[in-house]
Structure 1
Amino acid sequence: MARIAHLSDIHFGANDPNIVAATIDWLKEKQPDLVIISGDLTQRARESQFQDAADYLHALRENGHKLLVIPGNHDIPLYDVFRRFASPLGRYKRHIAQDLCPWVETDEVAVLGINTARSLTIKDGRINEEQMQLIRQRFKGVAPNKTRILVTHHPLFELPIGQGNELSEAVGRHRDALRAIADAGVHLTLAGHFHRTYAEAASKMVAEVGPTLVIQAGTATSTRLRNQEPQSFNWLHVEQGNRMELQVIVWNGEDFQRASHVGFSLKGRRWHSEQLATQEMAADEFSEPDYR
């Protein structure tokens, strides 16, 4: 079983330092096999914000964590128009990582990160043909018993986590992207961007997508909350492609505590959910994540 911490939308420059420190402490105590950060490490892609993000990642590595990190749209300069188009992720590459599509493979999981942030959009994301081919190629040789995980900042799907009954935006060329992840046999897609927690079988939203479970993380440390959902991140226990557990780790104002806990099992080509016992924190103490 692989234990994975999935954090997103750290937003250095609009973050709570106490919550940042609490994530470091929580992860040090639990020692996950992999820490995934799905974009938006900074608020405005400024030099000082990237330095703070780099210091944060250094602290995680010093504690022995293996990391997979990708950029988000906030990691591209917004107001510095020249830099936005001439070197959109130059500071990210200098401070965080040169590789915008990182790959981690262990005995239990194969994880690919894909950069969906683009200069031409303010907040929306895109995926290109080269990246779709990379998805197919990377997962092609993965052993069938391993769980295949794709990480993006922007969700590949239109999700019902907007205002009212509105669907969220999907990445550009998302229909082509869905064919790519179906071809690759991706089991889990992890993303952030909307500061909302969500989990659902992709087959309930779109056809011909394969055995994919969609998992969204809230913001781990940002002070920019949406719909009063508190800061949180996801704690995954992944069991070789056919079963996993997802627990949301929620900030209660003083520390992080375990909250909603749901299990998913893959039967045929569809994931089915089951509510599990919540530990340490009653479900009515926070804004309930959307497990459909």
Structure 2
Amino acid sequence: MHLSDLHFGAHDPLVCAAVQRLAHRLRVDVVVVSGDLTQRATRQQFALAHDFVCGLGVDERVVLAGNHDLPLFAWWLRWGRAYQRFASQFGAQLEPQRQVGPFWIVGVNTTRPWRHERGTLSAAQVTRVAEDLRSAPVQAWRIVVSHHPLVARSAEDRSHRPHGADTAVQRWRDAGAHMLLSGHVHHPALLQPLPGLWSMQAGTAVSRRLRSGQPNSLVVLQTQSGPTGALGRQYPHRFAQRWDFDARSGDFVCVESMPVAG
């Protein structure tokens, strides 16, 4: 399950409860949160976000910071202690990597303490992620997670991409990436920037900060057993699903399920 832009401090408790019910119902193996857990990076908001994530009942987690998770009004913390409050609840590893079943997940931090909103990818980060992707098992679903989207849904979204995005997309596809997960723009979208590479942007999962008429939404990635090849290797079917919150029922419903071959 991929969640983004929780924005605790501007969250909807009813939607939070619906996400937790869905996670338990689907028996999620790993939850990925691609940043903006809080609205203003306060200690209380991080504590609320942590309680919510724990309430999903998923032991395996990959949690990244977003630009809203860096202090804005406590600006003095940005020099040397920008991620202190995030780390107190979610750990000091800002670029976690995890293998859970068929999923090989590589996190990359696109936020910078000196930037309020825009993101950046350094050359060292691009190289490190490419090396991590090449070290994955042959049949793994190789996924890279960032807060800022590396692929633009529209011309107006190009300004939300981090510096270095074009280079990263090409090199990571060449290194074997199958899927890019991101958030930030609060607008869900499934895109295919290059052959064999998909980009899935999540909307805002539980906040009231809805944009462009989009509801609260989240992403679910699923695998199913597929055909067996000539060498006895089984090739799984992979699906990317968009789940939207339905205010009438008070639950999330699957509104789109697409096969995403790697």
State the TM-score, normalizing by the size of structure 1: 0.80
After superposition, residues 1-292 of structure 1 pair within 5 angstroms as 5-60=1-56, 63-160=57-154, 162=156, 167-203=158-194, 211-238=196-223, 243-253=237-247, 254-266=249-261
Percent of residue pairs bearing the same amino acid type? 30
Partner Cα distance (2:124, 2:86) in 1: 21
The residue type paired with residue 94 of structure 1 is: S
Question: Contact between 2:64 and 2:107, CA under 8 Å: does it hold in 1?
Answer: yes
Partner Cα distance (1:243, 1:219) in 2: 27
Question: Contact between 2:133 and 2:142, CA under 8 Å: does it hold in 1?
Answer: yes
- Give the CA deviation at 1:244: 2.2
Structure 2 alignment gaps of length 5 or more:
225-233
Partner Cα distance (1:29, 1:175) in 2: 38
Partner Cα distance (2:142, 2:190) in 1: 16
The residue type paired with residue 27 of structure 1 is: A
> How many residues get paired?
252
Local SS of the residue matching 1:116: coil
Local SS of the residue matching 1:262: strand
Question: Contact between 1:150 and 1:186, CA under 8 Å: does it hold in 2?
Answer: yes
Structure 1 alignment gaps of length 5 or more:
204-209, 272-292
Partner Cα distance (2:63, 2:119) in 1: 17
- Give the CA deviation at 1:21: 1.6
Partner Cα distance (2:4, 2:155) in 1: 16
Partner Cα distance (1:241, 1:93) in 2: 38
- Give the CA deviation at 1:37: 0.8
Which consecutive segments of 4 or more residues in structure 1 shift more than 3 A? 238-243
The residue type paired with residue 105 of structure 1 is: Q
- Give the CA deviation at 1:236: 1.6
The residue type paired with residue 96 of structure 2 is: P
Partner Cα distance (2:160, 2:54) in 1: 33
Question: Contact between 2:18 and 2:252, CA under 8 Å: does it hold in 1?
Answer: no
Local SS of the residue matching 1:55: helix
Question: Contact between 1:154 and 1:170, CA under 8 Å: does it hold in 2?
Answer: yes
Question: Contact between 2:245 and 2:253, CA under 8 Å: does it hold in 1?
Answer: no
- Give the CA deviation at 1:211: 2.2
Question: Contact between 2:218 and 2:244, CA under 8 Å: does it hold in 1?
Answer: yes
Partner Cα distance (1:111, 1:9) in 2: 19
The one-character-per-residue Cα deviations of 1:75-110 (angstroms, maximum 9, x if unpaired) are 001122211233111110112121111111134121
- Give the CA deviation at 1:64: 4.0
The residue type paired with residue 34 of structure 1 is: V
Partner Cα distance (1:161, 1:48) in 2: 37
Cα RMSD (Å): 2.0
The one-character-per-residue Cα deviations of 1:235-272 (angstroms, maximum 9, x if unpaired) are 22135887422222111124223232232343xxxx7x
- Give the CA deviation at 1:114: 0.9
Partner Cα distance (2:236, 2:76) in 1: 47
The one-character-per-residue Cα deviations of 1:101-153 (angstroms, maximum 9, x if unpaired) are 11111341211111111122211111112211221221222122111000001
Question: Contact between 2:160 and 2:185, CA under 8 Å: does it hold in 1?
Answer: no
